[in-house]
């Protein structure tokens, strides 16, 4: 019974679809821009468009359509979405810049460490905006 409810959860699957499409767009954009297939873009963070933004805005849009845009659950979801998008363009982007600086320091000092820090963590405001637009469109269409 619970598994059927899970598979019937329109809000969940709409959000997952928006995330999947955003990740797929990253693969396609990498293929077009760099002329190479990079499947790791399907599960990696960062890049255009923001899959985090697409996921949360699709969820929020779907909740608004089902429960009303004046419902408390829509309000909670909207605030959650704004926090996720702020984090993607702010905190995680800053962490990526710091990782890049640390990697450069280690490289120029010829120091060795097990692996380089991951630099592609966050998003530019444009990437967040495009992910949000994708999520809203998916949320309205599905």
Average pLDDT score over the chain: 87
Q: For residue range 95-123, list pLDDT tens digits in order.
A: 666 667 776 777 776 666 667 666 555 67
The whole-number pLDDT of residue 56 equals 98
The whole-number pLDDT of residue 60 equals 98
HEC-encoded secondary structure of 82-117: HHHHHHHHCHHHHHHHHHHHHHHHHHHCCCCCCCCC
The whole-number pLDDT of residue 41 equals 79
Q: For residue range 36-51, list pLDDT tens digits in order.
A: 887 877 887 778 899 9
The whole-number pLDDT of residue 46 equals 75
Contact 49, 22 (CB under 8 A): yes
Picking from 20-24, 33-37, 116-120, which range would have the lowest pLDDT averaged per residue?
116-120
The whole-number pLDDT of residue 47 equals 81
């Amino acid at each position: 019974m619970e598994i059927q409810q899970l598979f019937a959860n329109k809000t969940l699957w709409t959000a997952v679809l928006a995330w999947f499409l955003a990740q797929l767009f990253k693969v396609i954009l990498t293929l077009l821009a760099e002329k190479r297939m990079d499947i790791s873009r399907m599960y990696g963070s960062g890049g255009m468009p923001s899959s985090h933004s697409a996921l949360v805005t699709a969820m929020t849009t779907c909740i608004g359509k089902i429960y009303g845009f004046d419902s408390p659950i829509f309000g909670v979801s909207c605030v959650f979405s704004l926090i996720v998008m702020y984090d993607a363009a702010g905190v995680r982007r800053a962490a990526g810049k710091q990782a890049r600086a640390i990697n450069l320091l280690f490289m120029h000092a010829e120091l060795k460490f097990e692996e380089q820090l991951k630099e592609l963590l966050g998003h530019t405001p444009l990437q967040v905006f495009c992910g949000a637009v994708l999520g809203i469109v998916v949320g309205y269409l599905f």
